[in-house]
Amino acid sequence: MTTSVAIRVGFPVDDVSLSRLHAIAFGKAPGEVLPWAKRLREHSRSWVGAFHQDSLVGFVHACWDGGLHAFLLDTVVDPRYQRQGVGHKLVQTLIQEVRATGCEWLHVDYEPHLDSFYRDACGFKTTQAGLVNLSR
C-alpha cells in the first residue's frame, strides 16, 4: 500500500521529531535529542522532509563546501513508509534544490546494500573515494 506524503523543502525543523525519526529508522530507542535545527541552519545547503498528516516520516539534507560541491547526508525514512518511493522523492527533490543553488556536484556515501537505491533509483554514478575513521 502506498501512503501519500507531502514533501516540504526547508521546513522549520523540530529537534525532537527529527531525532526520534533517526532513532526509529536506525533501530534505536528514541533518546538523545540532537540540535538539528541549529546544525542545518549553519551547515546545510538545503533540507527536505516527508510528512504524513503533519508527522515527519522522512528526511534528507545536503551540506556544502561553500563552492560547487554539496554532500547528501542523513537520508532517513520511517520503516513504516519505506519501499513506497518516499526516499526517492526526498532525494530527487534535494537534487533539484541543490542544483538551483548553483552547486555542480552532489556527493553521497552509502553502504553496499543501498547501492541499488542511490545508483539505480536516484541516478548517482559510482566513483572511487577514500575514507578515514577519525575516531581511532
CATH number for the domain including 116? 3.40.630.30
Which pLDDT tens digits describe the chain residue by residue (136 residues)? 457 999 999 999 999 999 999 999 888 887 889 899 999 999 999 999 999 999 999 999 999 999 999 999 999 999 999 999 999 999 999 999 999 999 999 999 988 899 999 999 999 998 888 878 878 8
Domain assignment present for 103: yes
In a domain, 136, yes or no: no
Query: What's residue 89's pLDDT?
Result: 97
Position 129 in a domain = no
Question: Is 130 part of any domain?
Answer: no
What pLDDT does residue 102 have?
93
Amino acid identity for residue 27 in this structure: G
- Domain membership of residue 70 (yes or no) is yes
Q: Total structural domains in the chain? A: 1
pLDDT at 136: 81
Q: What are phi and psi of 56, to 5 degrees?
A: -70, 120
Q: Within 13 Å and on the Cβ side, how many CA atoms surround 114?
A: 12
How much is the CA Rg of the chain, to the nearest whole Å? Answer: 15
**Per-position b or e across 110-124, b if 16+ CB within 10 A of its CB:** eeeeeeebbeeebeb
pLDDT at 5: 96
Q: Give φ, ψ of 123 to 5 degrees.
A: 85, 10
Res 131: pLDDT: 76
Say how far residue 113 (Cα) sits from the centre of its chain.
17
**Domain that includes residue 64, residue range:** 6-121
Domain assignment present for 48: yes
pLDDT score for 1: 46
Domain membership flag for residue 127: no
Note the pLDDT of residue 2: 57
In a domain, 47, yes or no: yes
CB contact at 8 A, 81 and 73: no
